[in-house]
Structure formats: C-alpha cells, structure tokens
Amino acid sequence: MTQTVHVALGERAYDVRIAPGLLVRSGAEIAGLLRRPKVWIVTEVRVAALHLATLEAGLTAAGITSRALILAPGEGTKSWPHLIEVVEWLLAEKVERRDVVLALGGGVIGDLVGFAAAILRRGVRFVQLPTSLLAQVDSSVGGKTGINTAQGKNLVGAFHQPSLVLADIDVLDSLPPRDFLAGYGEVVKYGLLGDAQFFDWLERHGPALVQGDKTARAEAVRRSVQMKADIVVRDETEQGDRALLNLGHTFCHALEAATGFSDRLLHGEGVAIGCALAFELSARLGLCAQEDPSRVRAHLTQMKMMRDLSDIAGELPDITELLALMAQDKKVVDGKLRFILARGIGQAFVATDVPGDAVRGLLADALGRG
C-alpha cells in the first residue's frame, strides 16, 4: 500500500509517495508530470549497478524513453566540476524548461541534481528517487539543493522543490549496514527534535528496522517525512522553525569538513554524534535533565551507531580549528553561531546565546583534551 505525504506549498506543492515497488512502476507514477514521453536520469555508479535497469524498465513499460548520466559516487561528487558536468550534459541533451529530470541516488545525487535543475534554464522540474534511508527521510524532501566547497558543506545552492518524491522501501534492502545506520541518524533526529513519542517508538522498533522489517521501515519513513513536511510548509526557506531540522548539524558539518568530506564520516554518522553532543551541551547548560543525553547515547549504543568523536577514524583537528569550521556554518547569523539545543527529548529550540566557554569545554572533553 502506498502512503502519501503531501507537501502543501501552493504552486510548488508535491507528494512524497512511500511504498515498496515504486521503481518497478516508476513510469506510471511519473507519467502525469510529463509533457513529452522522455526523461533524463542522473545517478552514480553504485546506484546504477543496483537500480538503474529497474527504473529504466519501469519507464519503458509506460512508454517513456530515457537517457542516463552516471557519475562517480561519494560526497566529493557534490562539487563545482560535477555540477558543471551535469548542467552541460543536460544542455547537450537539449532538455527544455518543461521537461523533467530524475535524480536516482542518495543525498549527494539529490542535492547535486536538484541544484542543476534549479539553475538550468532558470529552473526545470525534477523528481527525487531517493535510494538511501537518509535521502528518503531528509534530503529528498524540502527543496534544499546545493554543493560543497573548500570553505564548507552546502554553502552554495538554491531552494528548488521537486515535483514528486518516490521513496521505494524495497531499495533499502540493498544498502550496506553502515549506510542504513547513517540514515537512521536522521530518523532519530526527528524524534529528538520534536516528537518524544516517535523516539519512544524508535527505542522499541529500531532493531526491527535494521533487520529489514518493511512495515516498520515504511512507518519510520512516513513519520519522518511528515514531520519534515510540516516544518517546511511553515518555514520553507529556513527563516524560523526549519532551523530545528539542523539538530546535530552544527557539530556534524564541522566534523565532515574536518574529515575532508570523506568516508571517514558519513553525514548521518555525523548527525548522530552531533545530536549526542547537542544534548550533552544542553544538559551542561541546565536546559535538560542529565537523563536525556544518557538516553540518547543509550539508544545510539543499542543501534551500534557512532556517538563519540573517538568513533571517527584518524586524527581530528584541535578545538580552535573545529570552532573555526563551525563558525563557517550557514547557521551563523550576524556573526553569532546558532545551536539547536533541547529542553528534553522532543523539545528542541534555536539558541543564539550559547557561552563559548561551554562549547569549548564540551569539545575538549569530547576530544579527550580537557
């Protein structure tokens, strides 16, 4: 059964459809959007090997022809050179403003292709076909697109909403365990930021998600997407409430930059560590009970996820450099770094007056350099 979450953004409204088998019937799902029976697919090598043939067959079954561009995998693909490659390919293919481009992949492909679609002919439509848990619950929904630069993560981009999101639960079966757990870091974030009952549910059902329970997986995706959709509708361009979705991300983005956007630290792993740090900082500031960060860490431990800086392979920069990387984050406003802190499980809020000494002390202890 297909579950649908509607993202009610007026003229930019769209549906997120969640079900097994969506790639197999992709043509029927997408056909209503097309002005002509042709689409352009951008994907990456690993995803193409697993899912491109299924997508192409689904399109062909509905009489839709397709062309595909296959890129290198990894966070390094979210870059100027690959953005240029995608845009130039779409232009060479004579993609028109009324056409539809398909982003088949995880968060890297979705962000890159969405940005290319945003700037191509001043905006063409695109459909997200997220193949990772992280992309299904987070990056494919909400219209944030972009690339990384030497100065930091996602510092260049645009808000460009997709026309449709197809979250096929079946494709999650092909994820390596590490990638699935990285995506779970974003799922946990939703419970921690605004839904204590969802976090309770995850404490009970998290192990079943990892073991492949498709009913539980579909429910986790639906609840995550619904929460994100509700926030995006209230604050599409992150002027207020949408900042709550960045719980854990101030620490995470600095750690990703510190590890060179490499596979030393996957994004969702950084989110999990960042959430644990955000709750620890909240407790140190007297905002929440010490039981809350303990409970967060206990669940991450239960799920065999990263939770400490010491879980990251290799050396990390010193405190000063980490703070400098955090200061480059998009969440800096008027020179002040905003943190998403919590008054308890499911009670996140935006804080702009966090004492620098408290952050420095937290990082010193986390790095074992206190």
Catalytic residue set:
122, 144, 186, 228, 238, 242, 246, 249, 253, 267
Report H helices in the chain: 26-30, 45-47, 53-61, 80-92, 107-119, 133-134, 177-194, 196-211, 214-234, 249-258, 267-284, 291-302, 319-327, 356-367
Give the residue among 123, 160, 124, 154 at the shortest CA–CA distance from 141. 160
What is the DSSP-derived secondary structure letter of residue 138? Answer: I
CA distance 7 to 141: 9
Yes or no: say if 64 and 38 are a contact pair by the CB < 8 Å rule: yes
User: How does DSSP assign 178-239, residue by residue?
Assistant: HHHHHHHHHHHHHHHHH-HHHHHHHHHHHHHHHHT-HHHHHHHHHHHHHHHHHHHHH-TTSS
What is the DSSP-derived secondary structure letter of residue 139? Answer: I
CA distance 101 to 124: 8
How many alpha carbons lie under 13 Å from residue 85 in its C-beta half-sphere?
16
Yes or no: say if 71 and 84 are a contact pair by the CB < 8 Å rule: no
**C-alpha separations of 179 from 193, 219, 263, 272 in Å:** 22, 19, 10, 13
Yes or no: say if 348 and 244 are a contact pair by the CB < 8 Å rule: yes
Token pair for 183: 């995506």
